[in-house]
Amino acid sequence: MAAHSKLGASSAARWFACPGSVKACVGAPDNESVYAAEGTAAHSLASDALEACEAASRYVGDTLNGFEVTEEMAEAVQVYLDTITKDRENGDELMVEQRFDLSHVYPGCFGTNDALLYRESEGLLIVYDYKHGRGVPVEVEGNKQLLYYALGACTGKHNRRVEQVELVIVQPRCPHPNGPVRRWRFDAVDLLDFEAELRAAARRTEDSDERHAGSHCKFCPAAPTCEALRNHALEAAKAEFTDAGDVVLSQPQSFSGEGLAKLLPQVDLIEDWCRRVREFAHHEAEAGRVPPGFKLVASRPSRKFKDDSAALAWLREYGLDDSDIYAEPKMKTVPQMEKVLGKSKGDIAHLWESVSSGTVLAPVADKRPAVKPEAAEEFA
């Protein structure tokens, strides 16, 4: 697996805005979400298909980064492949997953581009970045990650004449007013200004405790324990602490129209911070560091068929058609099948079982038994 820079391109927007985040992230648990893992798989698919000059659909059913390539993933990646194919002219040089080194700008700055297209006749370098996420639309103009990539691509012993740079973001699964493909072109000489900005921003991170909260906090590993983000979220929600340590939130009705206008853009950040705190607390509890007043318990069970194949055979023999059994592309769940059977739902009781899907953190007053003894090491 390729090494990742602490001052990497993908986190540049964060450490440009929050120098102290670099230091804060050292040692912080960085649990890759299922969405991030899926994104990594999609990137692998994109680079493999691009280098092999094959359609993404050719890989449907393959497993990449622990994910099976689905038709939906292949369709999204194909938008990226088609974008590059349409841009490419005879004589253009295509470079895929090319590493670069910016240590001359600041030690520890390096990375890997998704794809580059160089057109010698125009002195044009096109920098592509594929975004598989569907939740946060990414803007291309002024995008520090892509500027970092462009600077890296223009640096080194390649002897290419670059006069114009075009940055291209391909994000097929996230709605955007400008569509799934966004472009921004500028003079290559402007990268000298960004190089100076990059050097200055990197220097500000040196042993820095300076923290600033904002939209850049979304994927920061240090977010759950960040005091700056906590204060920002509570201030945005007009929250106050009582003498007992309880948090009192202002009622939405107390906000004026202007106050709501200021608060609404912060709601996603507040919600995301709350989610990250819960995830971090659960991670700590799983590691034996249970927060005082809480315990790990089995999550509430859901009902599942013991054996899908056996259940399917029994349901067909019972006289049900596949149209009754399936909610394409999968079998219906136990509750859904009970609705189909109505008063006869008890007939399938022998086919299902209650299964817990893991653990959750609950107050010690919760009636469910703890699944692990409380650790001696307290939550710090």
Contact by Cβ (8 Å): 297, 370: yes
CB atoms within 10 A of CB 10: 15
State whether 282 and 331 are in the same domain. Answer: no
State whether 254 and 323 are in the same domain. Answer: no
Ranges of beta strands (E only) in 109-208 are 110-112, 115-119, 124-130, 164-170, 181-187
Contact by Cβ (8 Å): 152, 103: no
- Mean pLDDT of all residues in 17-41: 86
Token pair 């509430």 in the structure block, residue: 300
Tens of pLDDT, residues 256-270:
677 677 677 777 777
How many structural domains are present in the chain? Answer: 3
State whether 279 and 305 are in the same domain. Answer: no
Interatomic CA distance for residues 316 and 319, integer angstroms: 5
| Domain ranges, residue 247 | 215-287
Which pLDDT band holds residue 249 (cuts at 50, 70, 90)?
low
7 within domain boundaries: no
State whether 244 and 314 are in the same domain. Answer: no
State whether 281 and 342 are in the same domain. Answer: no
State whether 132 and 220 are in the same domain. Answer: no
State whether 162 and 192 are in the same domain. Answer: yes
State whether 172 and 248 are in the same domain. Answer: no
What would the two tokens of residue 10 be?
């993908």
Tell me how long the chain is. Answer: 380
- For the chain, the average pLDDT equals 86
Interatomic CA distance for residues 256 and 258, integer angstroms: 5
Tens of pLDDT, residues 274-312:
787 888 888 888 888 888 989 888 887 788 898 988 999
Q: Is beta strand 124-130 parallel, antiparallel or unpaired with respect to 164-170?
A: parallel
6 within domain boundaries: no
Alpha helices in 136-215 (DSSP H): 144-153, 191-204
pLDDT surpasses 70 at 237: no
5 within domain boundaries: no
Give the containing element (helix H, strand E) for 81: helix 71-87
What would the two tokens of residue 290 be?
């249970």
* Burial of 111 from C-beta contacts in 10 A (0-12 / 13-18 / 19+): buried
State whether 99 and 168 are in the same domain. Answer: yes
Last residue of a domain, one of 171, 199, 227: 199
Query: What pLDDT does residue 378 have?
Result: 34
State whether 105 and 180 are in the same domain. Answer: yes
pLDDT surpasses 90 at 32: no
State whether 103 and 166 are in the same domain. Answer: yes
State whether 160 and 252 are in the same domain. Answer: no
Residue 258 vs residue 107, higher pLDDT: 107
254 within domain boundaries: yes
Interatomic CA distance for residues 115 and 149, integer angstroms: 10
Tens of pLDDT, residues 354-380:
877 788 888 888 888 888 644 333 333
